[in-house]
Amino acid sequence: MRELSLLRGLTKPLIKGKKIYRPMSSRVITTFTGLIVVLVMVIGASSSAGAVTEEFGLVGVSHVGDNPVDVAFTEQGDRAVVVNGVGNTVSIIDTGIRGELKRLYTQDQPLRVEIINRVAFVATMKGSTVSVIDIDNKSTVKSIHVEGNPKDLVLDRERGVLYVSNFGSSSVQAIDTESLEIVGTVDTKSNPKELVLSPDGYRLYVTNLADGVLTVIDTEELEIVTEIQVGETRNSFPIDVEVSDDGSRVYVLNQKDEVVSVVNAETNNLIGNVGTGNFPWKIEAVGKKVYVSNLESASVTVIDGETASQLGTIEVGDRPWGLTRAERGGVLFVACSRSDRIDVIDTANDEVIDRVDVGVQPLRVRINKPRSEAFTVDAKSNTVSVIGFGTDDRVEPASGKGGTTKSHGAYIPFVGRSPGVNTVTLILLLIAAGGLVAIWIGRKRQFI
């Protein structure tokens, strides 16, 4: 009511003696005020829509064995198991105190790890085994002998089945995670490497390096559905594979051809090939987009997975290795191995919004969802760096080269991808206030 009285006062003529003071018309005032309100609302809406408001910083460092290459977490998030590629060990980490509880020996060259029901499964490539570790008892339960040189693991949590790609024997084997027995074997093309499951778990996709082929396996029958030639040549070297969130597309990264093959998951037909940067290494699907790290380009290629077309390129640190999405905040973590840092990409705007210094030569990032933390394995400093979301409890990286983003020694947090929005809104409000004052002055001066 007070505001209405003010507007009436501004628009009502004032008569003093023989002078009539006539202000600007009510239509002008209403239009001006309405325009300012609309601008403020639009700016406010655009700043909140898709804006990332997290802060990212290094919150912990755990020392582990030699040359860590992978890490996985219990469902509760209280324990992590780190695979140490040199020395044939794994480290069990308490994620609360961020300290190593025990280091266990495995067979030769442990490479990958998956965890279900507080049991860790570790693929040892030269040992041709999958080591089974009881995390709570901190002991090895069993070594499951597989056909040869296991390269990758993928876990179907709903069915309790672990799939293993045997690089040396050209096969994929299925392990029951309860009985710890092999329940099936599927022969594939040469050198199966990366594995990925469809969202419903009914299809398993396998890249075969030597033949340039994507093998599609029916997981119910453990039979091959089809084999798809990918890339632009038969020597395409399909090094990685991902599936879209809705399961409608399969994306195969072909390193030698430097293209991503987009496959229709329903028809198993190749839709098209999309170019990447130099020496592409890893691929990650986020919604309908695909991100590719390019080792020799210091960049990430962004691809539209629906139309099989390139959207653009994001410059990142040197030798970007692993890519990992975080559902919280809609961000992508990029392990820049030669820059010793993690670049954080906002996937809504496809731009780098933060950089976090970690240990020496980070290779892989994995998310501990219950604790909202990202873990990096730092191969040369023999550490695991822990990146926190929205926290001020920060530490120095193992390399001792500063904490997160630095300027004259002071930490600069990331508070959003549009840091000037609040300032713009304030300026508009000040303009509105100034306009009302100008109208009031005009009321005093305009007379007949």
- Determine the average pLDDT of the residues in 196-202: 97
188 plus 95 within the same structural domain: yes
- 335 belongs to a structural domain: no
User: Is residue 93 located within the same domain as residue 160?
Assistant: yes
Say whether both 315 and 437 belong to one domain: no
On whether residue 354 sits in a domain, the answer given is no
Q: Does 300 lie in the same domain as 194?
A: yes
CATH, residue 89: 2.130.10.10
Does residue 181 contact residue 202 with C-beta atoms inside 8 Å? Answer: no
pLDDT (tens digit, 9 = 90+) per residue, 324-367?
999 777 899 999 999 999 999 999 999 999 999 999 999 999 99
Identify whether residues 84 and 148 lie together within a single domain: yes
Residue 176 lies in a domain: yes
Residues 32 and 116 in one domain: no
Q: Give the model confidence (pLDDT) of 4-51 as tens digits.
A: 444 444 445 545 454 444 554 555 555 555 555 444 444 444 443 444
From 258, 291, 322, give the residue that closes a domain. 322
In a domain, 362, yes or no: no
If asked whether residues 11 and 78 sit together in one domain, one would say no
Choosing from 269, 292, 322, the residue where a domain stops is 322
Q: 293 and 183 in one domain?
A: yes
Q: Does a structural domain hold residue 72?
A: yes
**Average model confidence (pLDDT) across the chain:** 84
pLDDT band (50, 70, 90) for residue 168: very high
Residue 336 falls inside a structural domain: no
Same domain (yes/no): 21, 76: no
Q: Is residue 404 part of a domain?
A: no
Distance CA 384, CA 209 (A): 30
Point out the domain boundary residue: 267, 290, 322.
Answer: 322
- Asked whether residue 401 is domain-assigned, the answer is no
Residues 287-308 have a mean pLDDT of 97
Domain extent at residue 437: 2-50+420-445
Based on the domain organization, do 45 and 83 belong to the same domain? no
Specify whether 131 is located in the same domain as 212: yes
Do 281 and 224 share a domain, yes or no? yes
Q: Give the chain's domain count.
A: 2
